[in-house]
Structure 1
Amino acid sequence: MLAGGVFASDKPVLRAAVLKIGTVNWELDTIKRYGFDTEFGFELSVQPFADNGATRVALAGGEADVAVADWIWAARQRAAGKDYVFIPYSRAVGGLVVPEDSPAQTLADLKGQKIGIAGGPVDKSWLILQAYAQKEYGFDLAGETEQVFGAPPLIFKTALQGETAGAINFWHFLAKMKASGMRELISVETAATSLGLDAEIPLLGYVLKESYLQANPSIAKSFYQASRKAKNLLATDDAAWDILRPRMNAKTDAQFEILRRDFRSGIPAPGNVNEDSAATFFVLMRRLGGEKLVGKVSELPAGLFVELE
């Protein structure tokens, strides 16, 4: 028997370290449930962890073969000497929401008010919205508002209770916030496009080690094909979502429907990551987030993105 309770076979085993309550489980569950892993010649073993940090430790320590992270983090690790590579998973990055009855129509209307932010001061959505506010309105979003940083559930709760004038949260919390009556003031996609960035770049992805891919030469494309087949099913078949609903923590039909809608809207186009677009995005993130976000990396390290098609 192999790690994760998977019996040895002639198929390579891909051990995925995931956040126990993470939305990536919806895709991985679909891969397993419909046998897309075995269809493409491998065995997927899903290993749940309590937090994202633990999934990354598992990947680094060889207890897992793949974990979910954004490619900016993967680039920082690769530049530091780790042989990490990236396969795209999702471009869902969210936006900023306000109460339905808020008078705010633009980010500049939040002057002097509190904004709740999940992810910390170098959260990528927060950085992009700062740049957008400066470009569009000459407005110093960070300097002219009060920021309240906290875990996603706390930002969710305080926003719904009216303790903040607006909130930036992870996409699935934003979906529930919209289902609870909040409205999107600005999406990160809109802001990114205004800044000349490619909003189609899949920021989140599956991070693996090159050494694992070298030992299993077909695994990258096989896993990608299984992922795309799961995505295609979830994009078109509502019945596939009915199966997933028990693990989605959707307390109302509205939450369930918006979670499904926003997951679908975050599915990236098939194909390789556009490296020129990613490089442009990275330059902006480096300028806005500095070393706290990207470390001492000055440019994207070569070989970060796996060639898939």
Structure 2
Amino acid sequence: MDRDHIEVQQAAFDEYHDDPGDRPVMRARFEHNGSPRYLLYTIKRFGLDHDHGFHLDVELVSDELESGMETIRDRLHEGDTDLVDTDYLSVARERADGAAIVAVHPYGRTVGGLVAHEDGDIDGLADLSGKRIGVTRRLDKNWILTRAACREFHDFDPDETATLVEADSRADLTRLIREGEVDAGFQFWPLVPELTRTGPFEEVLSVSTLVQRLSGAEEKVPIATFLTGESYLDAHPDAVSGFAAAAREATDRLRADDDLWTDIGDHLMQTDDPVVVRAVRDGWRDMAVRDWDSERIDAMRRLFDHLKTVAGADALGIEEIPDGTLRPAATEL
């Protein structure tokens, strides 16, 4: 995706960036190829932020700039942004390391899919040994979950038996897969349909199935969360609660309105292939978690404990989830 397309997407948001008035402003900085932009666009398009008492200011950025948690931590600490998203394992790692950040609302089961050449010999987890496997980074949640599942269900650790290839970005990972520099890659779920639609590739494993198997939960367990800084939360608790309410309403619209997805395909996707748009739509609806409560947060903690037992604290990069990491905005603010 080139810079011109980022600017086209930004223009779609800017059309709805009206005057905030006296509402508190929540500055959101999100990757140009990340799926949260569909939710944020819906909030802006229908004015759900103003309906819930805050003003959402969205800026799209390159994933090459935003791929590291250090960047997220610095931006929240230095006041450059008020809202970002990442997986709750990363939030917990950074909070344990002293970052004053907190997850305030779930996003969803934002894991990826293992994409391989359709003529290859990788059909699932059991086939990873001896292969070159692409990921965005070693602490990628897809890789952590895969390691845990391989150890739990197949008695091996692919970190020891496969060759891990770290890409600089999601775009670079797509290149590695297309050019055959890896035997398979764990690509983020919204980018899987375009790979499988436009090339001789297939998704041989959806990591979301591993989430549910490892967690033992019947309801969808969110992996990604929206997070903010403690200072913003303390200063604007009503804005954070308002965002949670707007996100729930936007999720309902995205689940019910097919025409909205046509509009999203026209403005926010690089392809207007209706098959790809529908695949992303259906994937988003399956991925999204509308809300959370104490029971679902308990399931997230159980998943962490299980991953730690199976894969070890070193793979997770943390011994435990610190108190205060997961804070439901609707019920505890």
Band the TM-score falls in, shorter-chain normalisation: 0.7 to 0.9
1:236-251 matches, within 5 Å, as 236-245=256-265, 246-250=267-271
Question: Which one of the candidate residues 214, 238, 260 is aligned to 2:234?
Answer: 214
SS of 2:160's partner is: coil
Aligned counterpart in structure 2 of residue 131 of structure 1, from 148, 158, 161: 148
Name the CA shift for 1:58/1:6 in 2 (closer, same or farther; >3 Å): farther
**Which consecutive residues of structure 2, in runs of 5 or more, have no partner in the other structure?**
1-13
Q: 5 Å matches for 1:248-259?
A: 248-250=269-271, 252-259=273-280
Name the SS for the 1:169 alignment partner.
Answer: strand
TM, length-normalised to structure 2: 0.81
- Conservation of the 8 A alpha-carbon contact between 1:6 and 1:45: no
Q: Of 295, 300, 305, which aligns to 2:321?
A: 300
**Distance (whole Å) between structure 2 residues aligned to residue 104 and residue 82 of structure 1:** 40
Query: Shift of residue 293 of structure 1?
Result: 4.6
Residue 25, structure 1, aligned to residue 37, structure 2: yes
Picking from 63, 71, 76, the partner of 1:59 is: 76
Residue 118 (structure 2) pairs with residue 100 (structure 1) = yes
Q: Is the 8 A contact 2:215 2:299 kept in 1?
A: no
Aligned partner of 2:211: which letter?
A: A
Paired residue total:
303
Matched with 1:38 is: 50
Answering whether residue 216 of structure 2 is matched by residue 164 of structure 1, we say: no
Deviation at 1:105, TM superposition (A): 3.1
Deviations 1:18-42 (A, max 9, x none): 2244332221111011111111111
Tell me if structure 1 keeps the 8 A contact 2:118–2:201.
Answer: yes
The CA deviation at 1:300 is 1.4
Q: Deviations over 1:96-122 (max 9, x none)?
A: 1222333433322343232222x2222
3-state SS of paired residue (1:263): helix
Letter in 1 for 2:116: V
CA distance in 1, matches of 2:147, 2:216: 14
Out of 195, 200, 213, the residue aligned to residue 220 of structure 2 is 200
> Are the equivalent residues in 2 in contact too, given 1:18–1:55 (CA < 8 A)?
no
In the alignment, what sits opposite 2:108? 90
Structure 1 residue 197: deviation in Å? 4.7
The worse-fitting range, judged by mean Cα deviation, of 198-207 and 122-131 is: 198-207
State the identity as a percent: 29
For residue 57 of structure 1, report the CA deviation from its aligned partner.
2.7
Contact between 2:214 and 2:303, CA under 8 Å: does it hold in 1? no
- TM-score normalised per structure 1: 0.86
Q: Is the 8 A contact 2:73 2:99 kept in 1?
A: no
1:109 aligns with 2:127: yes
Contact 1:56 1:67 in 2 (8 A): no
SS of residue paired to 1:185:
strand
Residue 133 of structure 1: how far off its partner (Å):
1.9
SS in 2 for 1:148: strand
Residues in 1 aligned to 2:275 and 2:23: alpha-carbon distance in whole angstroms? 41
- The runs of 5 or more residues in structure 1 that have no matched partner are none
Determine if contact 1:17/1:59 at 8 Å carries over to the other structure.
Answer: no
Q: Measure, in 1, the Cα distance between the counterparts of 2:132 and 2:273.
A: 28
Corresponding residue number in structure 2 for 1:175: 193
What is the CA deviation profile of residues 1-58 of structure 1, one whole-angstrom value per residue up to 9, with x for unaligned ones? xxx9875633221111222443322211110111111111111111333322545432
Change (3 A) 1:235 1:284: same
Instruction: Give the drift of 1:251.
Output: 5.6
Structure 2 CA distance for aligned equivalents of residues 38 and 266 of structure 1: 26
Indicate whether 1:153 and 2:174 are aligned: no
Q: Greater shift after overlay, 126-135 or 220-229?
A: 126-135
